[in-house]
Structure 1
């Protein structure tokens, strides 16, 4: 049994008169609006069809599964990433790619949930990869893969940390500072045991920056490491 073709490699149904005209573009736009408002878990073919005023079965002419829909949604967000136009400075280009990915993922919080794992193969995602790999020029392929993998892991990890903190605030109704105050007496008691000297130093001297504040300094440390490897 042959594997089904990727959704981008399957033609859409021919246009026909209908009270509610459909297209993959309209379906994806409705799904993204739903995910932005209610989260990825709220996205279903039934809800997307209802948002479009169409019957759920009509969507199956355009997509076969919810996974197809997620693939199309992810690729649409990749299409929003403003990629550098030149590849003359790999460090500047990678910094711009990281910032743009961060920006788009914070606008579409569900996007980070679908990053990682197997690579996305939609046309916008492939263009994203093409530009990212091209920034390294004619360097060793294995080094490029390690460097880009490290960058991608950092951006995804930072995004998920930032979004987890944001979701915790929504769930508890407490800001990070307010939550920390509730845990202060317990942490002070544990630190007083003398078993956690490194942690005690951090707690005494840190300003407790939020993930967004940490993103740029952490990115620069990573880029320093890539520069050292490329050298």
Structure 2
């Protein structure tokens, strides 16, 4: 005897702002922000595109909220923490988060981001620096100097034209273009990479520590 179909209908998960944002984040992580459209987002959610506008204003609204979601993943400095250690942990956390979401750095630096996570992140950073004795002006300069290192290093890491494992091979390939007679120092550096004396890797923490150590000598 055939089984009778269940009289209980499967309930569709209701559409919500949170569900839309989580789907948008997944799509952006997979294919990049440029490929994210309201139509594609609706298709991924199995709904009509117009139904999205009951929960979000437009694509810009979605992107702003996505950025705020990313910022919420970054470690927030504690006001009573040692400021150098707090800024170091914050920077390393931000760098790791942005590497996990390769699309996120550009909208983070090119948009006015005033979501709750960003406001808390910024306020806590300023608060930690103020507790350490920095004036508001100097705290703002310190935050901007550290953030410039985070964003610049992250963008370089995400867009570098070849993988770290290929550095020695690429150095050997380009060596004829940098003859020692004309470019002696670049040539010697390249030869160190080719020989394996130096891996050629740029290290996030090295630049960060240079910044933090120099900031420690500032008059607050």
Q: 1:112 aligns with which of 64, 88, 105?
A: 105
For 1:46 and 1:176, locate their aligned partners in 2 and report how far apart those are by CA, in whole Å. 41
- Unaligned stretches of 5+ in structure 2? 1-10
- In structure 2, what is the equivalent of residue 218 of structure 1? 207
Shift of 1:202: 4.0
Shift of 1:119: 4.2
Rg: which structure is higher? Answer: 2
Shift of 1:200: 4.3
Are 2:23 and 2:45, in contact at CA under 8 Å, matched by a contact in 1? yes
- Unaligned stretches of 5+ in structure 1? 1-17
- Describe how 1:134-149 pairs up with structure 2 within 5 A: 134-137=127-130, 138-149=133-144
Task: Report whether the alignment pairs 1:157 with 2:146.
Answer: no
TM-score by length of 1: 0.79
Q: 1:227 aligns with which of 191, 216, 219?
A: 216
Are 2:39 and 2:49, in contact at CA under 8 Å, matched by a contact in 1? yes
- Describe how 1:12-23 pairs up with structure 2 within 5 A: 19=12, 21-23=14-16
SS for the counterpart of 2:74 is: coil
SS for the counterpart of 1:70 is: helix
- For residues 37-91 of structure 1, the C-alpha deviation after alignment (integer angstroms, 9 at most, x for no partner) is 1111111111111111011111112222211111010000111112244433110
- Describe how 1:53-68 pairs up with structure 2 within 5 A: 53-68=46-61
Shift of 1:204: 5.0
Label 1:75 to 1:159 Cα distance change in 2 as closer, same or farther (>3 A).
same
Query: How many corresponding residue pairs?
Result: 203
Label 1:230 to 1:97 Cα distance change in 2 as closer, same or farther (>3 A).
farther
For 2:94 and 2:169, locate their aligned partners in 1 and report how far apart those are by CA, in whole Å. 29
For 1:127 and 1:120, locate their aligned partners in 2 and report how far apart those are by CA, in whole Å. 12
